[in-house]
Every structure is written in structure tokens, then in C-alpha cells.
Structure 1
Amino acid sequence: MPIFTIRHVTTYHYKDPVGFGEHRMMLRPRDDDDQRVLEAELKVTPAPSEISWTRDSFGNHVAIAHFAERASELRVESTIRLDHAPGEFRAADIEDFAQTHPFAYAEEDRHSLACFLTPLSQHPKLDRWAATFLRKDGSADTGELLFDMTQTIRRTFKHVARHEKGIQDPVRTLELASGSCRDLAVLMIAALRSLGIAARFVSGYLHLGDDDDEEDAGGNTHAWVQVYVPGPGWVDLDPSSGMVGNENLVRVAVAHEPREAIPLQGTWIGTASDHLAMKVAVRVTAAPDACDGRGARTGTGG
């Protein structure tokens, strides 16, 4: 099991000292069964006058910072060490009643899944595209449907860096056959929900290993999809890479839609011309677990 070290630095530069309003940070990974934070450190310069931690309705860690000082630079540096357990999705683990789509979720699951079944986009083009993964009678093997959709997006859509704010409409992504990892994730979520399958947006980090390095290095912020499958539960699907399962993926936040999982957002007080630049640097390194047992470590919270 690898140990990931994630360093994420965001720096805002201003021409003159400006004031800072409330800043909301979602940088600490989730406490899930397959990933466990060992150490977490958050450094903010200038130092906040107050910083508090809470969890949102999805169980994501959120830090809220308030500031008294003005400054010409705001720097947020998050360093995480995390124990990660890669896991696979096997179609054989799906409950018998859900092996074939369409299926109905169990009564006890419907309430908690309701917001993840709410349509993101309702458009005939989207419905027609989602239907291409079904047989003529409207059925499909559930496992095959999820694998096929993930890999089809990877194979037939161009993954591009898009720096504009916001998310591309799923129909626009279909028309362009391209989008950022966020856009491709939203397209897949919209298509799955149109088929009655619970899906949610995930933001976090992707580790990009280098086989030539003794200690793998490389990575970036990333977005993908989780689908609720009776039996396995929440399953990670990455349409940008075509991968199924959580290998090399570190979850920071899950949400109904992307605007609920922004890593860092806040306000500043000054003139429009004061803002000069924003720089983001992410590095994800992986090393093998040197401990004999998972229980041998102790971690510190951020």
C-alpha cells in the first residue's frame, strides 16, 4: 500500500496590499475506508486572525479562515501524508438484483441517494447518447455499462486543460467532444443520472507515477465520478483516464455538483487592477508503506 505525500501551494499576487474576506478551503482528504490521513499541515500567509474546521453535509473537511492583515500576497500551502489502499471494482460483487440495468435501489438507500439521482441536465441529445450504452430493449449489464461509458469517454473525447471558470454544459461537451476533467466528469454524471443511476462529483488529486524513479513523483488536482452500485457501494470511475477503481486517486471532496467542491475560494478587498496573478503548484509523491501493520501509525489533524 503506497504512502502519498501531497503538497499543494496556491499563491495570489497583488500590486498593492489588499484586505481579505472569508476564505473557504477544501484541501484535506476525506476519511474513507481506503484512504487515511497520517499527517496534515496547513500554512496560510498572512496568518489568519481565526481559522476553524468543520465538515459539510457530505462529510468533507472544510477550513474557514478570517484575516485582519492586509498584504500583497496570500499563500496557502497544504501538505498531506496519506495511507492509500488501491481497490478494484468487480462486476461479480454487484448484488444480484442490480446485475442488470435498469434496477431499483433498495428502499433504505433511496433517501440518502436522492440528491445524487437528481438530473444535472435534461436534453434529448444527452438522453440519446446515454441510450447508446443500452441494448435495443433498454437493458444492459450494469458492470459493462459502467466500464463502457468510462472507457468510451476516454477514447472518443479529447481531454483538454480549460482555465475558464465554471463547468461546461454536458451538451456542449458532447458537441465539442472535448473538455477538462471536470467537464468530462459532469457529462458522465449527467448521463448516468438520466439512466437512473446515482452518481456524484469527486475532486482530489491524481498521482502520476514515473516507473524510472525509485520514489514516484508527479501529480495534479483532478476530478472524476463516483457511482453507487448495490454491493460494492461507491465506486470510482475516471472518464479522463478510462480507469475504474481508486488507484492513484486521492479523494478530497464529494458533492452533488462541482461548485460544492471548490478547493479554495474567498474574497479580497481592493481595486480590480490590484490583482496580478494566481499560481498553483501541486506535487504528489508515492513511497511504499514501510510499516508492517496499518495500525502502527499515528496521525495529526490539520
Structure 2
Amino acid sequence: MRLHIHHITRYHYDDSVFLEPHYLNFYPQHRSYLQVEAFDLKVDPIPDGLFPLLNIENSLQYQCWFNKTVKCLEINASIKVHSTQFNPFGFFLDMNVMEMNNQEHFGYLSINQPISSEMQVMLLPYKALPFTELLTSVNEILQLINQQWSHTVRYAENIHEPSDCFQRKNGSCRDLSWMMITMLRYLGIPARFVSGYAFNPELGEGHELHAWVEFIAPGAGWIGADPSAGIFTNEAYIPVAANKDPKKTLPVYGSYRGNVSSRLETEVKIIEL
């Protein structure tokens, strides 16, 4: 399928502010099933610098900076992609390829906040399972979250702490994904946070800007899982940014000088061509 993604991000400031360097995540990541046919990025006001870079996750990102104060920042991204049918289960586990406690995975195993005793109790049956049962364990946790936690739309940039989300029994796609990542890391499964776009009629309106999880499957690499929908990701998912830290997957992240408040507006439309 061919998709046209139109994504507008606006920041309104109560007064003039000086923007520190901002980082823009809009260009889709490389995937075997995905081809970017066209990409256009416009920033208003025109920045003094806009530099394309490859970040640590080997994703194309833009560094943006200004030498003047602004009262509004708007980023307008137009993206056309061709996504072909993809089987998310078209692999097998090869435990000889990588050790799950290898040093290269440490960043994707870190848990910064203590998890609740209730979450530990829920995960107890999976602690003793061998890694040969990894896919079964991940799928069961995926289904538990999807069935027992309600999915709400929340456009705020902050993310609920995993234990808080666990207690609430609801959360946005970002909250549920971060909770699932924490659960997987607690079980010794490397996991990272992914943000991008989802063309999924099951999610309804307002879910086009989406977040999900990727975990390491030995021999198969990063495998996507969406706790909001309870499925492993397929060609309907267009990843833009992936990182061990969800804050670095925001479409726009950076800071500004000035003791004023800001307001965020987001518009995302996805049309099948």
C-alpha cells in the first residue's frame, strides 16, 4: 500500500523565547517492507541551521537551531511511503546468535524506576521460563496488557511511570508501551521504545501518531509489538524513531530559554493513495 502522511507540529509560547537546538524526528526508519517515496520538511520560522544527521540508532534526524527569539514554532512534514505486505512471524529463534545478557544490550535492559510489587507478582510466572519460550512469554504479556488495560488518547508529551500506569489500568499508547518495555526488561529481554505512525483501522481516529515496543529476538533482531492493539507490528506501522529512552523518540524535542509557558498542537492525517 502507498500512504501519504501529513504531520504538523506547532508550539505556541506566551512570549518570545530563545530556542536551544531542537531535534526533529520525522523521516521513517529503514525497514525491509518500507520505501520512502517522497519527504518534505518545512520549519517556520526558517531556521538558521537545519542539519540532517544519523543518530545512535542509525536513524535520520534533523538538528535545528535559531539565532533569534520566536513566539511560535511550526514543523510541517509531508511523507509518502510504499509499504509492502510483511509477515511479522517469518523468522525462527537462534539462541546461538546472541546472548541476552551481552554488554551491548545493557542500555536496553535498564530500569530507572523501581517497579511495584504488584507488577512483580504478575511477572513471576515468566521469570523462570527459558528463553526458548521468549515469544510465548512476550505474546502473553502483550495480550494481558491489551485485555486488562484500557487504551486512552492523550497528546501530552509526558509519560506515566510504569508502576503508575499499572495501577491506573489505563494509558495512552506511550504509557502502555513504556510499561511493557519495563516488564520485558525486568524479565531480561532487551526492549526499546518506538514512535511513528500507524495506519490501523482497528485503532480508530486519533491514533495515527502512535507508539509501540520493539524487543530483541535472538537470531531475528528487533521485533515490534503493539500493546494498544495486542498485535505484533506489520506493514501498517511506519516507525520514525526508536530509542531506549522514550523522550528521545518525540517528533520534536529540545528546550528553550524563557520563563513562559508553551502550548503544543498536533495534526496528523494519513491517506491511502
Q: Same fold (TM over 0.5)?
A: yes
Number of residue-to-residue matches in the alignment: 269
Question: Quick one: distance in 2 between partners of 1:131 and 1:247?
Answer: 33
After TM superposition, give the deviation of residue 17 of structure 1 in Å: 4.9
Larger radius of gyration: 1
Identify which of 232, 246, 249 aligns with 1:258: 246
Identify which of 192, 195, 200 aligns with 1:203: 195
Q: Identify the residue that residue 121 of structure 2 maps to in structure 1.
A: 128
Q: Identify the residue that residue 8 of structure 2 maps to in structure 1.
A: 9
1:172 maps onto 2:170 in alignment: no
Counterpart code for 2:107 = C
Identify which of 93, 96, 103 aligns with 1:95: 93
Question: Quick one: distance in 1 between partners of 2:133 and 2:259?
Answer: 56
Question: Quick one: distance in 2 between partners of 1:40 and 1:220?
Answer: 18
CA offsets 1:184-240 (integer angstroms, 9 cap, x no match): 111111111111111111111111349xxxxxx985211100111123321110001
Counterpart code for 2:267 = A
Question: Quick one: distance in 2 between partners of 1:267 and 1:141?
Answer: 43
After TM superposition, give the deviation of residue 6 of structure 1 in Å: 1.1
Between 232-241 and 15-24, report the one with greater CA deviation: 15-24
CA offsets 1:9-66 (integer angstroms, 9 cap, x no match): 0122345554433221111111232222221111011111111111111112221112
Q: What's the secondary structure of 2:39's corresponding residue?
A: strand
Question: Quick one: distance in 2 between partners of 1:181 and 1:59?
Answer: 24
Percent identity over paired residues: 26
Alignment map for 1:1-302 (pairs within 5 Å): 2-14=1-13, 17-90=16-89, 93-95=91-93, 97=95, 106-107=98-99, 110-123=102-115, 124-133=117-126, 138-139=129-130, 141-209=133-201, 220-270=208-258, 272=260, 275=262, 277-287=263-273
Q: What's the secondary structure of 1:241's corresponding residue?
A: coil
Counterpart code for 2:177 = A
For the 8 Å contact 1:131–1:138, the answer to whether it is kept is no
Q: What's the secondary structure of 1:205's corresponding residue?
A: strand
For the 8 Å contact 1:39–1:80, the answer to whether it is kept is yes
For the 8 Å contact 2:100–2:189, the answer to whether it is kept is no
Question: Quick one: distance in 1 between partners of 2:125 and 2:63?
Answer: 44
For the 8 Å contact 1:88–1:245, the answer to whether it is kept is no
Give the direction of change, closer, same or farther, for the CA distance of 1:19–1:149 in structure 2 (3 Å limit): same
Cα RMSD, aligned residues only? 2.7
Give the direction of change, closer, same or farther, for the CA distance of 1:169–1:109 in structure 2 (3 Å limit): closer
TM-score (norm 1): 0.79
TM-score (norm 2): 0.86
For the 8 Å contact 2:193–2:242, the answer to whether it is kept is yes
Question: Quick one: distance in 1 between partners of 2:99 and 2:122?
Answer: 29
For the 8 Å contact 2:9–2:75, the answer to whether it is kept is yes
Question: Quick one: distance in 1 between partners of 2:143 and 2:2?
Answer: 28
For the 8 Å contact 1:202–1:254, the answer to whether it is kept is yes
CA offsets 1:93-125 (integer angstroms, 9 cap, x no match): 32264xxxxxx8725992432321233544333
Give the direction of change, closer, same or farther, for the CA distance of 1:105–1:185 in structure 2 (3 Å limit): farther
For the 8 Å contact 2:34–2:235, the answer to whether it is kept is no
Q: Which structure 2 segments of 5+ residues have no match?
A: none
Q: Identify the residue that residue 101 of structure 1 maps to in structure 2.
A: none
For the 8 Å contact 1:219–1:283, the answer to whether it is kept is no
Q: Which structure 1 segments of 5+ residues have no match?
A: 98-103, 211-216, 288-302
After TM superposition, give the deviation of residue 248 of structure 1 in Å: 1.4
Question: Quick one: distance in 2 between partners of 1:169 and 1:260?
Answer: 16
Q: What's the secondary structure of 2:102's corresponding residue?
A: helix
Q: What's the secondary structure of 1:272's corresponding residue?
A: coil
